[in-house]
Every structure is written in structure tokens, then in C-alpha cells.
């Protein structure tokens, strides 16, 4: 059953399918927790301890703690959940986009979004 | 009898709400975007709908991955803004059209659609932003709402044709409703954008403009497209555009486009608006 997963038929476009949803459940549940003020406070106070509450693997923990958005998505993080991290540790969504595209922020704005910067 | 007076389409990008909150409406980045909605706001002011049925997706705010309804319908008295991570936004709660919601749910089930039924639920920017774009920031919303949530995040997501069919049932529910309320239906989401993967930042203005034409003149074509085609043309998150088909399915085959607007990029998204009326009952066209 090593069939190529359907989502990869569109290049560089990870669809949130069964495999990613199962794999990313811990990361996404942790991020979902940030929609509560007391959890945002806990994340700010001791991020590692907060992540441990959700049983993140060392690999997942590192991806989150280094704000490695590309890696979080690779591990099954879904942007709508992990974006909540930016409510605690602010970063623009275009920076998250540029990081995943592997581009400098200004290049990303110019070349992907057609902005004059 | 209850009456469908119009079908509206709009983007629901969260940055639009944030721009309003931060007072950025008239900055160079945002002014052309917001100005394009002035005719749409004029239309709702003039036509005074009583009920707005809003089709949108939750973005991991009201639902987590533990329970993912493909279609869910709100039948609550009130819908409060949910905390998306930054605290609930300071906008008035939405009043529900409870009686119609239940009537709609009955009609859906009788037509073999089986939605989740939500008597208590908070709502995210997916409905907030469209309401603000058409009704501004009133002290109290002048319309009651019926939220329809569509799962466009966790695969398998529904087929575009299924959204279109749901719209037909919605029309049947409106026309069989024994009140004299005036209804508008809002299809929301899109247009092209992609937030995840190495193709993040993908926008497709040409396809967006074609969509804004086709939604009026050739909705069958849009309904017959596959999910993969939506993702390819509009980006992984832009595929949510299929939710406009619920709105379009509620309308007649022949419609009149009263207003249309397109702007790119709003944050990372091709953003658009349309205001349509059924041709058979359309008001005289105003200067667009």
C-alpha cells in the first residue's frame, strides 16, 4: 500500500488528509488550547511545560519551539490551529508564508502576492 | 410568504477584521479594498433584508478535530464571537433566526441532507467579517442570522456539487417558510489563497475574475468541478470558494449582477464581492 498519497498530486500543496490529521493531532490540540487565556499565559510562562501537557514528541516540540512553520506543517500541523501561536508570540502571516515558501519576506510579498515593496 | 431577495458573495479573510479593529481602513493597503464594498453596503441598506443566511467554514475555533461535521446548521438564539487566540472581538453578538433554522433543518433532512444541529455555538471570523463588510459596525446587527458551517479543512471535504444541491434545498426552505421575512444568502470564503506548503502565497487573479463571472452566468460549470481542480486553481485554502455554490444554488438560473468587486492581495488572498438578484424579480440596475 505504498501508493502515492492523493494530496501530493498538486505540487507543494499539503492537503489536510487522514494521514496528516492523525500525525498532527498533538500539535493541533496543543495549538487549539491557545484559544483560552489561561493556556496562553501558561505557554508564555513555560512553553516546554505547556507543550509537554499535550504529549508532543521531541521532534514536534523542537519544531514548535524554534517556530519552524514548515516543519510544523510537515508534521501534520494545520495552519488554522498553529496560527494561534502567533497570538502569543506575534509574527505576521506573510512571514509564516515566506518561511514555508523558503523566500525572504520582501521577495515573497513581491513575487507571490504581487505587492510593490 | 418569505422571500429570497438576493445572493451575496464575499471573502472572509481575518485580516479584514483586524484592519477594521486597528483603524487601518483608509490606509493605502486597505482603502481600495474597503471602498469596493460601498456599493454592496448601499444595496443592503436599500433592500433591508430581515434574515442573513451565512455559509462559511469554521477555522479551528468553534470545532476542533475531535468532532468535524461536514455540514452544521446553527439554530441558537444568539451567536457570540469566539476567542480565536486574541480574545473575542468586540463586535455585537448575532441574533439567531431560530424558527427558520429549525424549518431549514427539517427541510434538509426531508431532502436527504443530514446536518449537525447546533443550539449553542460561538462563531469566528468566517461569519463576522462578511457581516461587517456588508453591514459595517452597528451597535446591534439589523438582521438575524442563520449560520451554515461547511467543513473545508479536514479531508474528505464535501463535493462542490453537494454544496450547490444544498443551496437548492435552502431555496425550498425559504419559499416554504410561512413568514414574510426578506432573506439574503451569503456565500463566503476565498478567493484564491494558499497558507500552507511551499506553494504558500499562491494567488490566481485571472481564475478569481473568471470565477466572479461564472458564479453568475455558469454556476453549473463551477458545481461540476472536482475538489482537486479547486485546490489547483484557487490554492489549498482557496478551495473554500465552493461554499459560494450553496448561495448560488439557492438562486434562479438567471440572475442579475448588481455589484462586483475584486482586489488582490488582502493579506495573502485574492478578495472579492458580488451582489446578485434573481433576474425574474430584480430591482432596476443601479449605476455600478
Q: Look up the ipTM and state it.
A: 0.95
Can you give the pLDDT at residue A52? 98
Which residue in B12, B59, B103, B193 is the catalytic one?
A: B193
- Kindly state whether residue A11 falls inside one of the protein's structural domains: no
B65 touches chain A (CB under 8 A): yes
- Kindly state whether residue A36 falls inside one of the protein's structural domains: yes
- Kindly state whether residue B91 falls inside one of the protein's structural domains: yes
What stretches in chain B show pLDDT beneath 70?
285-288
Mark yes or no for CB contact B228/A9 under 8 Å: yes
Whether the predicted pLDDT of A5 surpasses 70: no
- Kindly state whether residue A111 falls inside one of the protein's structural domains: no
**Is B12 one of the catalytic residues?**
no
Chain B CA closest to residue A77 = B196
Mark yes or no for CB contact B84/A88 under 8 Å: no
- Report chain B residues whose CB lies below 8 A from the CB of A25: 65
Mark yes or no for CB contact B201/A112 under 8 Å: yes
Chain B CA closest to residue A35 = B85
Can you give the pLDDT at residue A109? 97
A19 touches chain B (CB under 8 A): no
Which of helix, strand or coil describes residue B265? strand
B101 touches chain A (CB under 8 A): no
Chain B CA closest to residue A105 = B201
Closest Cβ–Cβ partner in B84, B236, B265 for A35: B84
- Kindly state whether residue A107 falls inside one of the protein's structural domains: no
**What is d(CA B73, CA B62) in angstroms, rounded to the nearest whole number?**
13
- Kindly state whether residue B139 falls inside one of the protein's structural domains: yes
Chain A CA closest to residue B13 = A93
Closest Cβ–Cβ partner in A21, A34, A35 for B154: A21
**What is d(CA B153, CA B220) in angstroms, rounded to the nearest whole number?**
23
Closest Cβ–Cβ partner in B60, B85, B87 for A78: B60
Mark yes or no for CB contact A35/B228 under 8 Å: no
- Kindly state whether residue B145 falls inside one of the protein's structural domains: yes
Which of helix, strand or coil describes residue B101? helix
Q: Which of B116, B73, B114, B62 is nearest to B96 (CA)?
A: B73
Compute the mean pLDDT over every residue in chain A, rounded to the nearest whole number.
94
End-to-end CA distance of chain A: 47
**What is d(CA B218, CA A109) in angstroms, rounded to the nearest whole number?**
33
- Kindly state whether residue A25 falls inside one of the protein's structural domains: yes
B265 touches chain A (CB under 8 A): yes
A79 touches chain B (CB under 8 A): yes
Please, is A116 exposed, middle or buried when counting C-beta atoms within 10 Å of its C-beta (0-12, 13-18, 19+)? Answer: exposed
- Kindly state whether residue B6 falls inside one of the protein's structural domains: no
**What is d(CA B206, CA B216) in angstroms, rounded to the nearest whole number?**
16
- Report chain A residues whose CB lies below 8 A from the CB of B265: 113-115
Chain A CA closest to residue B231 = A10
**Is B193 one of the catalytic residues?**
yes
End-to-end CA distance of chain B: 30
Whether the predicted pLDDT of A38 surpasses 80: yes
Whether the predicted pLDDT of A116 surpasses 70: yes
- Kindly state whether residue B287 falls inside one of the protein's structural domains: no
Can you give the pLDDT at residue B130? 98
Q: How many domains does chain B have?
A: 1
Domain interval for residue A62: 18-90
Q: What CATH number has the domain bearing residue B62?
A: 3.40.830.10
- Strand arrangement of the beta sheet that strand B71-74 belongs to: B116-118, B71-74, B144-150, B51-56, B182-188, B3-10, B269-278, B255-266
- Kindly state whether residue B285 falls inside one of the protein's structural domains: no
Domain interval for residue B163: 12-280
Which residue in B12, B125, B259, B261 is the catalytic one?
A: B125
- Kindly state whether residue A79 falls inside one of the protein's structural domains: yes
Whether the predicted pLDDT of A7 surpasses 60: no
Q: How many domains does chain A have?
A: 1
Can you give the pLDDT at residue A1? 43
Mark yes or no for CB contact A97/B268 under 8 Å: yes
B199 touches chain A (CB under 8 A): yes
- Kindly state whether residue B140 falls inside one of the protein's structural domains: yes
A84: closest CA of chain B, how far (Å)? 5
| pTM of the predicted structure, to 2 decimals | 0.96
Can you give the pLDDT at residue B259? 98
**What is d(CA B220, CA B228) in angstroms, rounded to the nearest whole number?**
17
Q: What CATH number has the domain bearing residue A70?
A: 1.10.700.10
Identify whether the C-beta of residue B203 lies closer than 8 Å to the C-beta of residue B268: yes
Mark yes or no for CB contact B85/A34 under 8 Å: yes
Can you give the pLDDT at residue A57? 98
**What is d(CA A56, CA B57) in angstroms, rounded to the nearest whole number?**
28
Can you give the pLDDT at residue B61? 98
Amino acid at each position: 500500500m505504498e501508493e502515492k498519497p492523493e494530496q501530493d498530486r498538486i505540487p507543494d500543496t499539503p492537503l489536510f488528509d487522514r494521514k496528516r490529521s492523525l500525525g498532527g493531532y498533538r500539535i493541533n490540540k496543543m495549538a487549539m488550547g491557545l484559544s483560552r487565556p489561561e493556556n496562553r499565559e501558561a505557554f508564555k510562562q513555560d512553553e516546554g511545560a505547556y507543550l509537554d501537557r499535550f504529549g508532543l514528541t521531541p521532534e514536534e516540540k523542537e519544531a514548535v519551539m524554534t517556530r519552524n512553520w514548515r516543519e510544523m506543517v510537515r508534521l501534520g500541523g494545520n495552519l488554522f490551529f498553529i496560527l494561534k501561536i502567533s497570538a502569543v508570540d506575534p509574527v505576521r502571516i506573510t512571514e509564516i508564508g515566506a518561511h514555508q515558501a523558503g523566500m525572504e519576506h520582501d521577495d515573497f510579498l513581491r513575487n507571490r502576492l504581487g505587492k510593490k515593496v | 410568504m418569505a422571500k429570497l431577495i438576493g445572493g451575496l458573495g464575499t471573502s472572509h479573510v481575518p485580516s479584514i477584521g483586524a484592519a477594521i479593529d486597528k483603524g487601518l481602513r483608509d490606509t493605502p493597503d486597505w482603502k481600495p479594498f474597503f471602498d469596493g464594498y460601498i456599493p454592496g453596503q448601499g444595496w443592503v441598506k436599500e433592500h433591508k433584508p430581515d434574515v442573513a443566511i451565512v455559509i462559511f467554514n469554521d477555522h479551528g475555533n468553534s470545532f476542533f478535530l475531535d468532532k468535524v461535521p461536514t455540514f452544521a446548521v446553527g439554530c441558537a438564539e444568539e451567536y457570540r464571537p469566539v476567542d480565536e487566540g486574541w480574545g473575542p472581538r468586540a463586535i455585537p453578538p448575532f441574533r439567531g433566526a431560530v424558527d427558520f433554522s429549525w424549518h431549514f433543518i427539517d427541510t434538509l433532512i426531508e431532502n436527504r441532507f443530514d446536518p449537525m444541529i447546533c443550539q449553542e455555538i460561538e462563531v469566528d471570523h468566517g461569519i463576522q467579517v462578511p457581516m461587517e463588510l456588508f453591514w459595517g459596525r452597528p451597535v446591534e446587527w439589523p438582521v438575524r442570522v442563520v449560520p451554515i458551517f461547511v467543513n473545508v479543512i479536514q479531508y474528505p471535504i464535501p463535493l462542490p456539487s453537494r454544496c450547490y444541491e444544498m443551496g437548492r434545498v435552502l431555496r425550498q426552505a425559504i419559499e416554504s417558510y410561512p413568514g414574510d421575512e426578506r432573506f439574503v444568502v451569503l456565500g463566503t470564503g476565498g478567493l484564491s489563497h494558499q497558507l500552507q506548503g511551499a506553494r504558500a502565497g499562491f494567488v490566481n487573479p485571472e481564475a478569481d475574475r473568471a470565477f466572479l463571472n461564472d458564479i453568475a452566468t455558469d454556476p453549473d460549470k463551477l458545481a461540476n468541478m472536482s475538489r482537486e481542480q479547486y485546490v489547483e486553481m484557487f490554492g489549498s485554502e482557496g478551495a473554500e470558494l465552493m461554499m459560494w455554490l450553496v448561495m448560488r444554488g439557492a438562486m434562479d438560473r438567471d440572475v442579475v449582477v448588481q455589484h462586483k468587486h475584486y482586489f488582490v492581495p488582502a493579506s495573502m488572498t485574492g478578495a472579492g464581492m458580488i451582489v446578485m438578484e434573481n433576474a425574474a424579480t430584480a430591482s432596476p440596475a443601479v449605476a455600478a
